């Protein structure tokens, strides 16, 4: 009997297991990634909007305005002026508020605390939410390291952004779907109203499969309606009208979702077609439609594998959104954990993706500083999304090739296996009933 040759995925698993069990290796990896990430962020720090705490200054000011009855100023130049005075920097052009009014209302308690103290508290909350998300996801050991050293997480912490909030919400959606509580999953998903673009992928998935996920859709609609109604009672209709203008790119002056530099296909076309702006919208819509059609085909060809659908839906979000930045990539930890557990034979591919994400997020920041608009037009994010699409296609080939085998869904569980899941060592076991 011949000795079988381990697959690339098996070799990666073995390497990761040995490395995570060796404190010297763990320390070396942490130091290396941390140094690379810190270097990238320090280089980016000379660019606009990359100064420590700059974005949180906006959130803190927005909370103050909401608390003082000034929500009508959330989307005006006055907010940038107040935030810059508080921050003591020179980021006037980047200190803009692009979230719905409800987030400003939620931040009111923090606005009562001095800015520097509030920033420390917010940073602590960010770390707690990241840990909570990893726990909810039952993330394997490598992810507990990556979640605190990759550039998206570091930049989120540096700027005082809200990427960890989106991550923990989608982790909650994952957990509720796993326990077959669709309506509750929809309610939790409605919390993404603080940054609606993060809900696009999951929303498309539920709409495409509405016969199966109508409860989730109703839960999301009900939760969203309650959030908006409660907010309107507190601040009135005008701030929400101004937010819609910002979200649709029709604001009279200032930044909008469609004018703020992002890591999206929209930004790719916008920067590439300077002088032919009329082509940007139709090309972006065509690009988004290609993504939706491909996603729909993937869902149909992997029928019954709910965890894969959730992973693909979240991965689709950056492709559809007109406004999304590097720190928003934190939500990709959810599909990463799902695919890592569900398709162990392709873990080597996802290790490659992780390396690309580190490179892309650092290079995007540094290149956008060094060569300005062209650096953003390069859009490493688009390359990453294309790479993910190729891997999804290969994964589909793998699944179709093994169509005769009994399908397991180790993340969300399946009716046939009683919800068996894979532990860190690849062994199958039964989780406790949620």
Q: 326, 362 in Cβ contact below 8 A?
A: no
For residues 243, 247, 249 and 251, what is the CA-based torsion angle, rounded to 10 degrees? 10
Q: What is the pLDDT of residue 363?
A: 60
Helix (H, G, I), strand (E, B) or coil at 428: strand
Tokens of 228: 């908006």
Q: What is the pLDDT of residue 270?
A: 83
Helix (H, G, I), strand (E, B) or coil at 209: coil
Beta bridge pairs of residue 206: none
Q: How many CA atoms lie within 13 A of 413 on its CB side?
A: 18
Q: Is the pTM of this model over 0.75?
A: yes
Residue 73: exposure state from Cβ atoms within 10 A (0-12, 13-18, ≥19): buried
164, 60, 51, 55: which is closest to 118 by C-alpha? 60
* Distance from chain centroid for Cα 5: 37
Residue 222: exposure state from Cβ atoms within 10 A (0-12, 13-18, ≥19): middle
What is the pLDDT averaged over residues 386-401? 68
Answer whether residue 114 shows pLDDT above 60. yes
Q: 185, 219 in Cβ contact below 8 A?
A: yes
Of the segments 216-225, 286-295, 316-325, which one has the largest average pLDDT value?
Answer: 216-225
Q: Which residue has the higher pLDDT, 30 or 192?
A: 192
Q: What is the pLDDT of residue 371?
A: 42
Quickly tell me which residue has 């290149």 as its tokens. Answer: 367
Q: What is the pLDDT of residue 47?
A: 41
pLDDT 10s digits, 160-169: 899 999 999 9
Backbone angles phi, psi at 56, to 5 degrees: -65, -30
Of the segments 182-191, 238-247, 305-314, 346-355, which one has the largest average pLDDT value?
Answer: 182-191
H helices within 236-346, ranges in order?
A: 238-248, 265-272, 280-301, 306-320, 333-342
Answer whether residue 53 shows pLDDT above 90. no
Q: pLDDT-based confidence at 48, cuts 50/70/90?
A: very low
Q: 306, 177 in Cβ contact below 8 A?
A: yes
Q: Which residue has the higher pLDDT, 377 or 328?
A: 328
Distance CA 95, CA 74 (A): 11
Of the segments 42-56, 74-88, 356-370, which one has the largest average pLDDT value?
Answer: 74-88
Q: What is the pLDDT of residue 275?
A: 76
What is the pLDDT averaged over residues 175-182? 92
Answer whether residue 365 shows pLDDT above 70. no
Q: What is the mean pLDDT of the chain?
A: 77
Answer whether residue 50 shows pLDDT above 60. no
Of the segments 218-227, 246-255, 328-337, 424-433, which one has the largest average pLDDT value?
Answer: 218-227
Answer whether residue 403 shows pLDDT above 60. no
124, 109, 111, 134: which is closest to 157 by C-alpha? 124
């Amino acid at each position: 009997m011949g000795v079988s040759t381990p697959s690339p995925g098996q070799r990666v698993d073995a390497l990761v297991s040995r490395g995570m069990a060796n404190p010297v290796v763990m320390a070396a990896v942490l130091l290396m990634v941390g140094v690379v990430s810190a270097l990238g962020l320090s280089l980016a720090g000379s660019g606009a909007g990359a100064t420590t705490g700059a974005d949180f200054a906006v959130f803190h000011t927005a909370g103050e305005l909401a608390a003082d009855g000034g929500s009508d100023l959330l989307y005006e130049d006055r907010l940038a002026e107040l935030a810059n005075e508080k921050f003591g920097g020179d980021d006037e052009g980047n200190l803009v508020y692009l979230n719905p009014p409800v987030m400003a209302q939620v931040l009111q308690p923090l606005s009562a605390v001095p800015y520097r103290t509030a920033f420390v508290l917010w940073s602590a909350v960010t770390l707690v939410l990241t840990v909570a998300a990893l726990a909810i996801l039952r993330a394997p050991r490598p992810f507990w390291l990556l979640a605190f050293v990759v550039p998206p997480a570091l930049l989120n912490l540096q700027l005082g952004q809200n990427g960890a909030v989106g991550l923990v919400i989608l982790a909650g959606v994952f957990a509720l779907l796993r326990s077959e509580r669709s309506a509750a999953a929809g309610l939790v998903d409605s919390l993404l109203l603080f940054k609606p673009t993060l809900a696009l992928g999951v929303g498309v998935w539920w709409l495409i499969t509405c016969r199966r996920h109508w409860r989730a859709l109703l839960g999301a609609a009900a939760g969203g309606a309650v959030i908006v109604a409660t907010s309107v009672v507190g601040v009135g209709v005008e701030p929400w009208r101004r937010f819609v203008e910002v979200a649709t790119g029709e604001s009279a002056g200032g930044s909008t979702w469609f004018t703020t530099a992002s890591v999206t296909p929209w930004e790719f076309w916008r920067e590439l077609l300077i002088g032919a702006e009329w082509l940007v919208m139709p090309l972006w819509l065509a690009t988004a439609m290609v993504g939706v059609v491909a996603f729909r085909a993937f869902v149909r060809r992997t029928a019954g594998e709910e965890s894969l659908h959730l992973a693909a839906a979240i991965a689709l979000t950056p492709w559809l959104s007109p406004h999304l930045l590097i720190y928003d990539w934190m939500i990709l930890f959810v599909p990463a954990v799902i695919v890592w557990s569900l398709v162990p034979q392709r873990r080597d591919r996802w290790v490659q993706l992780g390396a690309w994400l580190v490179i892309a997020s650092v290079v995007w920041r540094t290149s956008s500083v060094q060569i300005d608009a062209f650096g953003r037009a390069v859009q490493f994010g688009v390359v990453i999304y294309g790479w993910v699409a190729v891997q999804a296609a290969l994964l589909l080939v793998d699944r179709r090739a093994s169509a005769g085998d009994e399908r397991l869904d180790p993340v969300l569980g399946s009716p046939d296996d009683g919800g068996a899941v894979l532990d860190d060592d690849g062994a199958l076991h039964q989780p406790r009933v949620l």
